[in-house]
Structures are given as C-alpha cells and as structure tokens.
Amino acid sequence: MAPTGVAPDRRPARQDEVLTDAALDFLAALHHRFTPRRDELLARRTARRAEIARTAALDFLPETAHIRDGDWRVAECPPALQDRRVEITGPTDRKMAVNALNSGAKVWLADFEDASAPTWQNVIEGQLNLTDAYERRLDFTDANSGKEYALRPAEELATVVARPRGWHLDERHLRDAGGTAVPGALVDFGLYFFRNARRLLDLGKGPYFYLPKTESHQEARLWNDVFVFAQDWCGIPQGTIRATVLIETITAAYEMEEILYELRDHASGLNAGRWDYLFSIVKNFRDAGERFVLPDRNAVTMTAPFMRAYTELLVRTCHKRGAHAIGGMAAFIPNRRDPEANAAALEKVRADKDREAHDGYDGSWVAHPDLVPVARAAFDAVLGDRPHQKDRLREDVDVRAGDLIAVDSLEARPTFEGLRNAVQVGIRYIEAWLRGSGAVAIFNLMEDAATAEISRSQLWQWIDAGVVLDTGEKATAELARRVAADELDALRAELGDAAFTAGRWQQAHDLLLQVALSEEYVDFLTLPAYERLEG
C-alpha cells in the first residue's frame, strides 16, 4: 500500500514521518480485515432508509430489549477524561492546535472530520501536528502580527480526543494493490493510534476518539473490533482506547444503549449535537409527508419537544450506564466591533450551557476560546468540585419512540429568509471547503460540514414537498436558482472581480444546486464535493 494520485509539488513536507513502512503495514491490515464489513454496513444503511421510506416510522429494537433491560456498565473512565466540563472543537491545523490546547478547555476535539476538508495536505499535517504537540514541538507565528505562540505547560493543556472521518468517505490517496481506496476512518484512526498510543500512555493519557455519524449498534461493534485488533497489533493493553460516540443520526438515537453496550470496554460517553442530527432526520424522512418538514434550521433549537426528548434520553442513557453525557455546540464567534450584539449572543450561549448543566450533562462543546469561560462558569455552578454528575440518573425521563420524531410538534414554518440563508451559508461553506478549509466563519458562527448538509437537505425537502413560504411563494427549483444567482452576484460585488474569480464561488454555487435540486437525493454532500477537492 502506498500513497497515490499525489503530485510531487503537492507532496506534504515530512510525509515520510507519517507513512512509514510499519504504519502502512498497519493500515493495510486494518483495511483488509475491516473494509468488507464496512461495505456491508453501508449497504444496511440503504436498506434501513428504504424501510423508513415505506413506514415513515422508527422504533426501539425488539431484538435488543435484553440489552436495554440488562444490568451492565461501561468501563471505568480514565483519569484524563473524568472532567470534561468544557470541550473545544476544531481542525488539526497548527494554529488551531496551539490555540485549542492552550484554551483552558478540558478537552480538544481534534477534528479530521466535519471541520476539516480532507486534502492530502490536511490529512498528513494534522497527524504531524498532533504528534508535535505531544513532543512539545508545536508552535506557530501569526503571519499578520508576527506574534509567536507556543504551548503552555503540559498540565494546563486540553486532553486530545481525535475525531476520524465517518465510515462513508474513502481516502483516495491510499489504495491497496487492487486499486480499492482505504476508508478515511481507518486512515485517520490508524495513523493516529499507531503513531501516538504508546507516547500518550507515557504522558499519563491515552488514545481517545470521537466516533462520528454512527447509524447503528452494528457500526459501533465494528469500531470495537477495530479497537481490539489495533491494541493487539501494537501491543497496547486491551481497554486502553476510549471512545465517545456522537449521537448525530436519528437511527442511532433509538440505539444509544446498544451502542454503549457494543463499546462497553472502550466507551466513555455519548454526545448530543444539532445540525447533523437534524440533517439525519431530513435525510431519512425527506419524503415522508408534511408532518416531517422542518422549519428554518435556526428555528429548531434544543428546546423543541422532539429535541428535548433526544437530549434528555441521552443523559439518562449515559448515566444509567456510567458514561459521560456531553452536550452540543456553541458556535458563536465573539464580535468585539459590535458590543451590543456580542453581549446578546453571549447571553444565549450562557443560557444554553446553563440548561445543559441543569439537565444533567457532564460537559459541552464550544467552537471559540473566548467561549470557554462562559461554558465553564455554567458547569462550575452545577458541578462545583465534582468532575461530573453521573450520579444524576434522570429516572424522571420517559421517552417513547414517537417522541423522537415528533417534528410536527413545532409551530414554526419554513420562511423565505430561511431559504435564502440556506443558500447563502451553503455557497459560502462549500467554496471554503473546496479550497481546503473545513471550519468556516459565516455570519459570526463557526460552521462545519454539518451546516452545509442541513442547509442543502432542507432546500431539497422544501422543494420536494412544495412548501409554501411565509411570503406566499412556493419553494421550487426555479426559486432556489434565482436566490442562488442573486447570491453569486452579491458575492461578486462584495469581493470584486479579481477576488471572486480567484475563489471557487461558481463551483460552490453549482454543487449546492446539484445536490439540492437533484431528483436523486445524495446521501452526503462531501461525496461529490470530494471529487472536486484539489490536493
């Protein structure tokens, strides 16, 4: 196995440090052992979606009732993950790595997934940056100010939890002898684990992971088998790995206990997000009728009844099984030029984190270092000196199957401004992604691929359902094209012809319309986008 399709002038510096013969042998072993099962599970996703299309329903699995009724707990949490009250998320570029590690957060979600466009440069440099951090070789100089940044003392640094790519996305730059690409999930996990597991143990920590876009307990079982194999291969004690699973698909919400059970020797918690979860609802119920039509994405908060059912069930499930419950993202980027708007936005963040802490969550996410103190204050007020609140079992929570998909409990309806915002955000995000940037500041929010997914999915759903917007206009392909054309003209006027032409705005516009207006719904925007990604 060797890297393919990388032009010599695009070969990342220090690539040979990452792709040693021993590392490639390990990736080859992972690939040959587990990719066939990955392929089977992706096919199961398709079959399950067909069943949802037929029934417009989901339920807790009768065949796993014995797991939900059983008396078991996940493995004891390692000391480095006991206190997770604030977690900061972001890609693995050098600047972000230093800022995240120094942020004062307890955990840094080092993201190879939604916050990172998977150029080969990003894949390799991300691996190097994490190892450099553990070797205390990580620093950077701000190109504008010339200011130098270095790591704080080790005891002040956030604990790293790496997030590999989801099962669906292959890594085109690594192929076996038959030309089959290695799953990106195995590349990201495999390189990080192989390079750093022993080093992390020497530092008193371990190889910790976030697992994205899991759709079933069978997929969690696959990850667990990967962990067992990897630990044996590298001579690492079984149970060293710890994994937190993002419950960001609607199908996984019905299998939280089963997912923890499959990973019980390696599980450390579950996380409740928003955009990917809503994206999954739209994806699975996109043609199931008016009662599943979501309003504007910004109108669907965590306090919506079906979102409350999901978030409270997650806390109860985690604490029943001894796992951490981690809350959702505060994506606001502080804006010092508008103190009034800044204060109002920070108050919303504070209220959101207060709600999570009082609901029983053990920690939560932020996207910017300035939000770390806000989130920490909310959890400090509830936790005090305790590292978590797993003793809060939330036995008052009683969620039925229908509660999780009661989308029609919302009074809000789709609006023209919601449609325009979906177009604006979609184009802006895709353009940055095509240039190799996966974490993008848009309208004072830090956005990642999940934002683009929910935006384009809502356009598809509204047009397919023939939704009538608040202006009286019907959501149609023609309306979406007109709004997108207006947005492209506005961007050209804002940026100027030279900057507009230098960017990838037309390609982003075309790709958004392709996935939003296609008769055949595309499962992941990043699949056709990856074909257009340079490098």
Residue 379 lies in a domain: no
Here the CATH number for the domain that contains residue 520 is 1.20.1220.12
Q: Tens-of-pLDDT digits for all 535 residues of the chain?
A: 777 766 666 789 999 999 999 999 999 999 999 999 999 999 999 999 999 999 999 999 999 999 999 999 999 999 999 999 999 999 999 999 999 999 999 999 999 999 999 999 999 999 999 999 999 999 999 888 888 999 999 999 999 999 999 999 999 999 999 999 999 999 999 999 999 999 999 999 999 999 999 999 999 999 999 999 999 999 999 999 999 999 999 999 999 999 999 999 999 999 998 999 999 999 999 999 999 999 999 999 999 999 999 999 999 999 999 999 999 999 999 887 888 989 999 999 999 999 999 999 999 999 999 999 999 999 999 999 999 999 999 999 999 999 999 999 999 999 999 999 999 999 999 999 999 999 999 999 999 999 999 999 999 999 999 999 999 999 999 999 999 999 999 999 999 999 999 999 999 999 999 999 999 999 999 999 999 998 8
Residues 35 and 181 in one domain: yes
Instruction: Give Cβ neighbours of residue 190 (< 8 Å, ≥ 6 apart).
Output: 23, 26, 27, 30, 230
Residue 397 lies in a domain: no
Is the distance from CB of 241 to CB of 266 less than 8 angstroms? yes
| Domain-terminating residue out of 262, 290, 318 | 290
Q: Which two tokens stand for residue 199?
A: 């080093």
- Tell me 328's DSSP state: E
| Domain-terminating residue out of 244, 264, 290 | 290
Question: Percentages helix, strand, coil for the chain, rounded to the nearest 5?
Answer: 55, 15, 35
Residue 405 lies in a domain: no
Residue 357 lies in a domain: no
Domain with 39, as residue range(s), is 2-290
Query: Using CA atoms, how far apart are residues 226 and 265, in angstroms rounded to an integer?
Result: 13
| Domain-terminating residue out of 290, 323, 351 | 290
Residue 380 lies in a domain: no
Catalytic residues: 163, 448
Here the CATH number for the domain that contains residue 274 is 3.20.20.360
Residues 275 and 143 in one domain: yes
Query: Using CA atoms, how far apart are residues 390 and 379, in angstroms rounded to an integer?
Result: 13
Partnered with residue 476 across adjacent β-strands are none
Q: Which two tokens stand for residue 526?
A: 């990043």
Instruction: Give Cβ neighbours of residue 386 (< 8 Å, ≥ 6 apart).
Output: none
Instruction: Give Cβ neighbours of residue 448 (< 8 Å, ≥ 6 apart).
Output: 111, 114, 115, 438, 439, 440
Residue 451 lies in a domain: yes
Query: Using CA atoms, how far apart are residues 486 and 249, in angstroms rounded to an integer?
Result: 33
Q: pTM for this one?
A: 0.97
Query: Using CA atoms, how far apart are residues 413 and 294, in angstroms rounded to an integer?
Result: 7
Sort 368 into a burial class: Cβ within 10 Å, 0-12 / 13-18 / 19+: buried
Helix (H) or strand (E) holding 420: helix 416-434
Residue 44 lies in a domain: yes
Buried b (16+ CB within 10 A) or exposed e, 93-115: bbbbbbbbbbbebbbbbbbbbbb
Residue 524 lies in a domain: yes
- Grouping H, G, I as helix, E, B as strand and the rest as coil, residue 439 is coil
Q: Write out the E strands in 164-292.
A: 170-175, 181-183, 208-211, 242-247, 267-272
**Which runs of consecutive H residues, i.e. helices, occur in 8-158?**
15-18, 21-55, 65-69, 94-101, 120-134
- If one counts every other C-beta atom within 10 angstroms of the C-beta of residue 145, the result is 7
**Total structural domains within the chain:** 2
Q: Which two tokens stand for residue 111?
A: 């993201």
Taking the mean position of all CA atoms in its chain, how far away is CA 390?
Answer: 24
